[in-house]
Amino acid sequence: MAALYAAKGNVSVGVISKLYPTRSHTGAAQGGVGAALGNVQEDHWEWHMYDTIKGGDYLTDQDAAEIFSKDVIEAVYELEHMGLPFSRTAEGKIAQRKFGGHTREFGKAAVERSCYAKDRTGHMILQTLYQQNVKEGTTFFNEFHVLDLLIENGRCSGVVAFELSTGEIHTFHAKAVILAAGGYGRIFKITSNALTLTGDLMSIYYRKGLPLEDMEFYQFHPTGLTKLGILVTEGIRGEGGILRNKDGERFMERYAPTLKDLAPRDIVSRSIYTEIREGRGVGPDKDAVNIDLTHLPRDVIENKLSEITDLSRTYLGLDPVKDLVPIQPTAHYAMGGIPTTIDAECIADDSGAIIEGLYAAGEQACVSLHGANRLGTNSLGDLIVFGRRAGMFAAKYARSADMPEMPENPEAESRQLLDTLKNADGAENAARIRKELQETMMNNVGIFRNGPDMEKQVEILRELRARYQHVGVQDPSVRYNSELIEALELGFMLDCAEAMTHSALNRTESRGAHDREDFHTRDDQNWLKHSMAYKDFSRPGNVRLGYKPVVFKGAERYETVMTYTPSADTSLKFPPKPRTF
Amino acid sequence: MHINVKILRFDPEKDKKQHWETYNVEAEPSDRVLDVINHVKWYLDPTLTFRRSCAHGICGSDAMLINGRNRLACKTLLKDVVKEGGTISAEPIRGLKVEKDLLVDMEPFFDAYRMIMPYFINENAAPAAERIQSPEEAERMDHGSNCILCACCTTSCPIFWVNGSYIGPAAIVQAHRFIYDTRDAATEQRLNIMNQNTGVWRCRTAYNCTEACPRDIPITQLIEEVKRAVMYQQS
């Protein structure tokens, strides 16, 4: 989306991607994109804004939420105008269904807000945006791995990237750079994320001494296929699927009496874990619960939920038409990341100073729309709304800015990074370290957290980092050296895990997806603020933590770039309230 | 269970031609073939090279020949292709240049994709809200829009093996998606592309594509529908 809007902005655009663009993990998103179109039931952007803020447990910046819930309506129509094959209502409008945490009249009842294309909405968004970029003539650099960002005196002048097919290092000199590289779910053992989601750009940003915001907030999606972590769309609950424990009980009635199975993800995931901990799990290890679709009509399962039906049949040999499907929470989405303004500019410090010419959007960015917990469908919404803003504002900046000067010897650090890996003694195996990282992060910084476990994890990460210095690359080849890439990625993952663990240990409260067993309640007095994690270069393995205030006012700085006219009322705001569903 | 994994290897920097290497692996019947190949790379031979990303059949990176048939390694379970003590084989997909081990040059495949104008075209001013389309009309795009561009179909097509200028089944599936979109305005141009000597008439209905598709798209049927649309346009 960012590339497309930059291309429409009359500037020359190149996309640098570690994959072929159609392989990107946006394609795995299933359920839909929430927008208050009101095609099925009355709906308003204010309701969506409220749900987003409440879903985020009041850590959401409310200016971002306002822009988002207004603009996402137009962004969805734009996708339709680009040919996205949405499912349709009987009248031929974009079809909408219920989704976790999306309500009418500020929490009264669930509302049909998720615009969907069967259960492959992300696939259709990815394909449509790629197609439109082909149409606009965007240049793609496929299978190029970014190694470094060039930033001097608060100004970004480009990136350095490694070309997988040749082994060459390239410097891209640019007036503006947009980062949109996705998340880092692979630091966990059970995850819905692709093998390639290793937090590369977050880590590179962090290595420059720049902050990562709200890294302690990581969403575990309630329904991953057991053991595999493959995502089962929330759309199955939107269509009426019910979670049941070993006794067949619809346990969500106890945890969220109003929204039940459609409560926000953090709450459903914790409820599932609580059931499992209290011995009401299913499966050989009693570490899952069942999702029950057997009461739904066969055509709903076969047609509206065909993707997940196929996954369940393929991987578990179970047919949702007649079988209960065992699921367990799976590491899914990073609320935190590279801090940005509402115009997608990257933020360099606690005061909110920006890096000129550098923009970020999507999961790897933190605007902060999702606060402490993202609502289902708002990831796709985030990337079309803030991806679009990033593209537009970056193009606008590039049109007026002069070409910045590059640092002397821009590739030096990247070469050193690769040489260090190539020349290491090879006493350690990257896969073993990665496996230990994934298992320990899952156990110590997972759904339920406490001080002692996380302190232990801080030590484990120091040890893993020390061992990482000995990871060598046995493959001497220059072309397609994927072993070198995997070793690099492990280094990125260790940074993300470090920022997350320290941020989580520091936040002595429970909020949204961050649940502390030793600090069980939300503490608005002390913790209604964003964490900013900086690498502590003076004490390796440590993190310096700063803070940034939560924005409670409406979008005063809202510079509309759309045809949609925002309301004049910028006073709309939602003060924190206890969070029940 | 205990199995042998036989992989067709090729390193352009040292090998003159491809050769088989076999690895012994402990695995579960419910493991994916990709899990086993990852295991080989991570613990037995880190030089093994292949593409993979999502690991559950949606990104389309890991198409390969498994036991002689085009499949996605992440969507193929061991229990469906091998028994205890048995051997599975993995080779690069055919008809595209092998770059290294199981990794091939995808550019010709995407060149063919780009030939069919793979993007929605309608230059009329769009309404403020969505364009209206009935559920039945939307359903006509269901199969075509389901494609993940993994190349399993095109690289199983005997015509494509012999004549690389044939745009191949995947590109036709993409064209079908737009030709049968009631909102799209470029049907005529696309049908003209389909009617060229690199287009649909190369298809000899071998059905390999349909059998190879990991998304169960009835590809041969879609190609036949495009052929009929071209004939209808010509008459």
Q: Do B60 and A85 touch (CB under 8 A)?
A: no
| B123 and B196, same domain (yes or no) | yes
* Cα A521 to Cα A510: distance, rounded to the nearest angstrom: 5
The answer on B230 and B114 residing in a single domain is yes
Classified as helix, coil or strand, A194 is: coil
* Whether residue B149 is found in the same domain as residue B45: no
Strand, coil or helix: A169:
strand
Which three-class secondary structure string do you get for A29-58? Answer: CCCCEECCCCCCCCCCHHHHHHHHHHHCCC
CATH number for position B153:
1.10.1060.10
**CA–centroid distance for A553 within its chain:** 25
Please tell me which residue in A97, A186, A265, A465 is annotated as part of the active site.
Answer: A265
Work out whether strand B69-72 and strand A529-536 pair parallel, antiparallel, or are unpaired: unpaired
- Whether chain A has a CB inside 8 Å of the CB on B58: the answer is yes
User: What is residue A554's predicted lDDT score, i.e. its pLDDT?
Assistant: 67
A-chain CB neighbours of B43 within 8 Å are: 429, 431
Give the dihedral of Cα atoms A35, A39, A45, A50; nearest 10 deg.
-80
Between CA B34 and CA B50 the distance in angstroms is 10
Give exposure, A536-567, as e/b (b: 16+ Cβ within 10 Å): eeeeebebebeebebbbebbeebeebbeeebe
Question: Could you tell me the sign of the dihedral formed by the alpha carbons of A550, A553, A555, A556, in that order?
Answer: negative
CA distance A529 to A547: 6
Distance between B114 CA and the closest CA of chain A, angstroms: 8
In percent, the amount of chain B with pLDDT more than 90 equals: 98
- Of B76, B104, B132, the one marking the end of a domain is B104
Residues B219 and B146 in one domain: yes
Q: pLDDT digits over A235-246, tens only?
A: 899 899 999 999
Range of the domain at B58: 2-104
If phi over 0 gives left and psi between -120 and 50 gives alpha, with beta otherwise, what is residue A188? beta
Domain shared by B127 and B196, yes or no: yes
Q: Which residues of A277-313 are buried (b: 16+ CB within 10 A; e: fewer)?
A: eeebbbbeeebbbbbbbeebeeeebeebbbbbbbbbe
Statement to judge: residues B92 and B200 lie in one domain: no
Which pTM does this prediction carry? 0.95
Does B84 share its domain with B135?
no
Probe site for chain A from B113, B145, B147, B149 (most A CB atoms < 10 A): B145
User: Which residues from chain A sit within 8 angstroms of residue B183, using beta carbons?
Assistant: 83
Same domain, B142 and B222: yes
Peptide bond into A368 cis (omega under 30): yes
CA distance B204 to chain A (A): 28
Interface check for A137 against chain B (CB to CB < 8 A): the answer is no
Interface of B with A in 189-208 (CB under 8 A): none
Q: What mean pLDDT do residues A20-29 have? A: 95
- Find the CATH number of the domain harbouring B47: 3.10.20.30
What digits encode the pLDDT tens for the residues A309-354? 989 999 999 999 999 999 999 999 999 999 999 999 999 999 999 9
Q: Which two tokens stand for residue A52?
A: 């987003």
Same domain, B119 and B214: yes
Q: Are residues B225 and B119 in the same domain?
A: yes
**Boundary of a domain, candidates B79, B104, B129:** B104
pLDDT tens, position by position, A260-311: 999 989 999 999 999 999 999 999 999 999 999 999 999 999 888 888 898 9
Q: Where are the beta strands (DSSP E) in chain B?
A: 2-9, 19-26, 63-66, 69-72, 87-91, 98-100, 103-104
User: Mean pLDDT of all residues in chain B?
Assistant: 97
Angle between helices B107-115 and B168-179 (to 10 degrees): 30
Active site residue A207: no
Rounded to the nearest angstrom, the minimum Cα separation between B218 and chain A is 15
- Which of B70, B89, B104 finishes a domain? B104
Min distance A116 CA to chain B CA atoms (Å): 12
Joined tokens for residue B30 = 């419910």
Q: Are residues B170 and B218 in the same domain?
A: yes
- Specify the number of domains making up chain B: 2
- Strand extents, DSSP E, B86-128: 87-91, 98-100, 103-104
Q: How far apart (Å, rounded) are the C-alpha atoms in residues A235 and A477? A: 45
**Average confidence (pLDDT) over A525-553:** 94
CB-based contact, A442 to chain B, within 8 Å: no
**Can you tell me which residue has the tokens 């993995």?**
B90
Q: Examine the domain organization and report whether B196 and B93 are in the same domain.
A: no
Reported as a single tens digit per residue, the pLDDT across A343-391 is: 999 999 999 999 999 999 999 999 999 999 999 999 999 999 999 999 9
The share of chain A scoring above pLDDT 90, in percent, equals 90
CB contact under 8 A, A92 and B134: yes
Specify the pLDDT at position A571.
Answer: 63
Q: Which residue of A has its CA nearest to B38?
A: A431
pLDDT score at A563: 36
